[in-house]
Amino acid sequence: MGTEREHDRLIANAARDVLGTQGFLRKGRSRLWFADYRWWLILVEFQPSGWSRGSYLNVGAKWLWSPFSSWSFDFAFSPAARVNGLVEYQSEDQFRTASRELANTAAREALRLREAFPDISAVADRLADKASDCSDGWNAYHAGVAAYLAGRTAKAEQFFTDLSRPRPDDPPDAEWLHDLRATARMFATITGERDALREALEDFVKQSRISLRLRGSNFELPNADRRF
C-alpha cells in the first residue's frame, strides 16, 4: 500500500495536469482547486474520506457577493455538489488512473457549469428556481442578488423581503441566519435606490476576495446587458 503522501500526490498531479491547464489554481496544499471569475468561483474539491483512503469529487459555484466569506460550496448548479462517489486507493497504478479520471470529470463538470451561466439572466433564472419557496436562506439571498443584477428589481426586493422575515422553524442558535435576515432587510430597503445596492455588493465582493486571499481586486459586477 502507498503512503498517504503518495496518495495525495497522485491527486495533486492529476489536478495540476488537467485543471491547471484550464486556469484552475490550487488552494495552498489542499485538495481544493478553483477557477476565479472575479465575482464568482468554480470550486473543485477532491474530498477525502474519513474512513478510507480515496477521494470523492465535488464541483460547484461560489458567489463572492456573500456577506460572510468562506470556502464553502454554494451548490448553485445542482442540489448537491457531489459529482462522484468515493474512489478508493488500491494501488499506485490504479489510483493514478482513477485520479486522472476524477480530474477529467471535474473539468467536464466545470465546463458544464460555466456554460450554464453565460450571463446574469441565466444565473438569475437558475437561482430563482432553487429559491422558489425561500425555505433556504442562502438560496433566497443569492436569488435576490442575481435578480437585482439582472435588472429584475421588483423580484429582487421580494426575495429580500421574504428572506428578512423570521420563520417558525428558524434554529434559535443560528446567529448566521439572524445576520443574513438583517442583511436582506437592509437590501430590501435600498433595492430601488440608484446604485446603492450595487455599491454594497461591490464591497462584499471586495471583502470576500481579501478574506479568501484571491489575487487582484479589479472586477465589475455583471448587468442585464453584458455577457461574461
Domain boundaries, the chain: 4-116, 120-211
pLDDT value of position 108:
95
Q: How confident is the model at residue 15 (pLDDT cuts 50, 70, 90)?
A: very high
What residues does 27 pair with on adjacent strands? none
pLDDT value of position 2:
47
pLDDT value of position 76:
64
What residues does 32 pair with on adjacent strands? 45
CB 119 within 8 A of CB 151: no
In the predicted model, is pLDDT for residue 87 greater than 80?
Answer: yes
CB 123 within 8 A of CB 146: yes
**% of the chain with per-residue pLDDT over 90:** 66
The arithmetic mean of pLDDT across residues 63-68, rounded, is: 92
| More confident call, 44 vs 224 | 44
Q: Tens of pLDDT along 162-183?
A: 999 988 888 888 888 899 999 9
Alpha-carbon gap, residue 201 to 95, rounded angstroms: 43
Alpha-carbon gap, residue 120 to 67, rounded angstroms: 19
DSSP per residue over 43-109, as a string? EEE-PPPSSSSEEEEEEEEEETT-SS--S-----SSSS-EEEEEEE---HHHHHHHHHHHHHHHHHH
Q: How confident is the model at residue 74 (pLDDT cuts 50, 70, 90)?
A: confident
pLDDT value of position 130:
84
pLDDT value of position 81:
83
pLDDT value of position 37:
94
CB 141 within 8 A of CB 184: yes
